DNA sequence: ATAGGATAAATTATCTATAATTTTATGAGG
DNA sequence: CCTCATAAAATTATAGATAATTTATCCTAT
């Protein structure tokens, strides 16, 4: 993992805290005391405050003036909201990306899917899953949209980790394959529809019992 | 205009700069020097930096580590991107809001539309237009989605102001009325379709000549 | 027991100073 | 003229101090 040489302290703190929050190392509602974080990182509290502003922008923390910062909570409603937003935005991105998807990109995406299948833990799996989505969507060339999707994806990962930590399994990802097939066949509508359904799966209660049909297992 | 008593300096600076950027008082690409802004507001530069982080989150400025902050530019591609994202997200919000739209809300929205018709300048008009959209979408009860839409709306307002400043006219807003009619008739699909088309209008080149059919005039 | 007020402690927000980095200006050489 | 090196100036990022606000604790009265 290479850290850009120009990374400021504030950016570094923000990155590390984001990772920690997403991985579940910080409980929803937990207070983030700027002085304590500063002490942990061996810095002044001022870049910590700047890091907080960044985390807030990502939706990972909530703050009130003069009352501090807490790790953002999530309710089932929020999980569902994020899923819905992802479905809307990822479909939009896919539609714009589709004309630019090369065989090479699709092959890489397939490779990422394979990596997800082989993943030994939920973090590796999520990483492969994110790579898959990014590979397919990045060619849309819409930076603001991609940034929004990234933030939503981080939120999803957080939900996923918190819901799946105890019941992790590494399944074959049928939806990913279906999306790839459709894209290879030039059938963007099908790809978009499968993607939307697949992404919205994360809005399902995390502990839903498997139903009789194969549930999509990645978001 | 009441300013919350608890508004911090950083929030205030952020708000004022955002308003200034949106209104076109700061050109795209313009450098925002933290010390100069601090001097203008009579504060230290530290809350200015925090304000910058907030503005960045809103997409109104861009920053590079150690190289400062500039007012975000916009290309036609970005204008179009914002329009597309708005269409996707506002339609999503409207679908979720629709079951909660009361007659009172629809009446207020109609009143906002009327205010827009009477607006004497583009700022008043945009304010009424924003109120219209907010009234219809807020009942979706999805805070993250509404925040995203707000940021996109601010970006749209900025584009609008920069494109319309010299050719402002106060037209009747047929799309707003069509949306209201459809909603009153319980026809959510039509409302959503009109909304999407209407919102995407902002992706049109701002100086497009009026065509033979009435162009939607609000976004 | 509870409620209210006072005080202390903790925390947040901003200020000032300093260090680090980038940008600009200047001069020398080809 | 251009290029390069150096110095100076400007700017950004952070540290440590200070001021303001909130929270916690203690005491008194009912």
HEC profile of chain A: CCCCCCCCHHHHHHHHHHHHHHCCCCCCCCEECHHHHHHHHCCCHHHHHHHHHHHHHCCCEEEECCCEEEECCCCHHHHHHHHHHHHHHHHHHHHHHHHHCCHHHHHHHHHHHHHHHHCCCHHHHHHHHHHHHHHHHHHHCCHHHHHHHHHHHHHHHHHHHHHHCCCCCCCCCHHHHHHHHHHHCCCHHHHHHHHHHHHHHHHCCCCCCCCCCCCCCCC
Cα A202 to the center of its chain, rounded Å:
11
First to last CA, chain B: 24
First to last CA, chain A: 24
- Decide: A134 and A149 in contact? Cβ < 8 Å: no
Which DSSP symbol is given to B99? G
- Decide: A132 and A109 in contact? Cβ < 8 Å: yes
**Chain A interface, best mutation among B75, B141, B148, by max A CB count within 10 A:** B148
pLDDT tens-digit map of B12-41: 999 999 999 998 889 888 999 999 999 999
* CA gap A18, A25 in Å, rounded: 10
CA/C1' separation B44–D25 (Å): 35
Higher pLDDT, A82 or A207: A82
Where does residue B54 fall: left (phi above 0), alpha (psi -120 to 50 degrees), or beta otherwise?
alpha
* CA gap A187, A194 in Å, rounded: 11
Exposure on the CB side of residue A138, measured as CA atoms within 13 A: 11
Q: Please state which of the ranges A33-37, B100-104, B132-136, B167-171 shows the lowest mean pLDDT.
A: B167-171
Quote the tokens at residue B95: 């679908």
* CA gap A33, A28 in Å, rounded: 14
- Nearest CB among A7, A65, A145 relative to B11 is that of A65
Exposure of B213 by Cβ count < 10 A (0-12 exposed, 13-18 middle, 19+ buried)?
exposed
B91:A91 CB<8 A: no
* Radius of gyration (C-alpha) of chain A in whole angstroms: 18
Max mean pLDDT among A195-199, A211-215, B49-53 falls in B49-53
Exposure of B175 by Cβ count < 10 A (0-12 exposed, 13-18 middle, 19+ buried)?
buried
Q: What is the average pLDDT across B54-77?
A: 92
Higher pLDDT, B133 or B199: B133
Q: What is the pLDDT of residue B213?
A: 39
Q: What is the pLDDT of residue B120?
A: 79
Q: What is the average pLDDT across A164-180?
A: 64
Cα A216 to the center of its chain, rounded Å:
16
Q: What is the pLDDT of residue A162?
A: 81
Using the predicted structure, report yes or no on whether residue A13 has a pLDDT greater than 90.
yes
Q: What is the pLDDT of residue A73?
A: 85
**Residues whose CB falls within 8 Å of the CB of residue B189, separated by 6 or more in sequence, listed in order:** none
Using the predicted structure, report yes or no on whether residue A124 has a pLDDT greater than 60.
yes
| Strand C surroundings (CB within 7 A) | A 6, 31-36, 45-46, 49, 63, 65-69; B 8-10, 42-47, 50, 66-67
- Decide: B11 and B52 in contact? Cβ < 8 Å: no
* CA gap B31, B36 in Å, rounded: 10
* CA gap A67, B34 in Å, rounded: 26
Point out the nucleotide closest to A6 (alpha carbon to C1′).
C21
- Shortest Cα distance from A207 to chain B (angstroms)? 23
In CATH, A9-71 is 1.10.10.10: yes
Q: What is the pLDDT of residue B1?
A: 34
CA/C1' separation B80–C8 (Å): 57
- Decide: B101 and B136 in contact? Cβ < 8 Å: yes
B145:A56 CB<8 A: no
Quote the tokens at residue B139: 């009942």
In CATH, A76-203 is 1.20.120.530: yes
Chain mean pLDDT for chain A: 85
pLDDT tens-digit map of A15-72: 999 999 998 889 888 999 999 999 999 999 999 999 999 999 999 999 999 999 999 9
What dihedral do alpha carbons A32, A36, A42, A43 form, nearest 10°? Answer: 70
Bridge partner list, B32 = B69
Cβ-based contacts of B91 with chain A (< 8 Å): 88
Cα torsion angle, B173, B146, B182, B102, sign: negative
Chain mean pLDDT for chain B: 85
**Residues whose CB falls within 8 Å of the CB of residue B72, separated by 6 or more in sequence, listed in order:** B21, B28, B59, B60, B61, B62
Domain boundaries, chain B: 9-71, 76-203
Higher pLDDT, A160 or B152: B152
**Chain B interface, best mutation among A14, A15, A89, A156, by max B CB count within 10 A:** A89
């Amino acid at each position: 993992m290479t850290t850009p040489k120009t990374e400021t302290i504030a950016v570094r703190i923000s990155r590390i805290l984001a990772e920690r929050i997403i991985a579940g190392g910080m409980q929803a509602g937990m207070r983030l005391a700027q002085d304590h974080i500063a002490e942990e990182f061996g810095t002044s509290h001022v870049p910590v405050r700047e890091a907080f502003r960044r985390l807030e922008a990502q939706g990972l923390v909530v703050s009130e003036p003069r009352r501090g910062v807490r790790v953002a909570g999530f309710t089932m409603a929020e999980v569902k909201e994020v899923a819905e937003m992802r479905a809307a935005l990822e479909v939009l991105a896919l539609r714009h990306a589709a004309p630019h998807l090369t065989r090479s990109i699709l092959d890489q995406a397939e490779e990422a899917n394979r990596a997800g299948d082989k993943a030994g833990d939920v973090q590796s799996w999520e990483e492969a899953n994110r790579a898959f989505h990014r590979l397919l969507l990045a060619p849309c060339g819409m930076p603001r949209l991609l940034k929004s999707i990234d933030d939503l994806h981080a939120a999803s990962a957080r939900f996923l980790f918190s819901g799946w930590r105890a019941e992790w399994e590494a399944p074959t990802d049928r939806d990913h394959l279906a999306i790839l097939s459709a894209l290879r066949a030039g059938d963007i509508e099908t790809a978009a529809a499968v993607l939307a359904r697949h992404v919205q799966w994360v809005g399902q209660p995390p502990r839903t019992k498997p139903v009789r049909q194969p549930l999509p297992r990645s978001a």
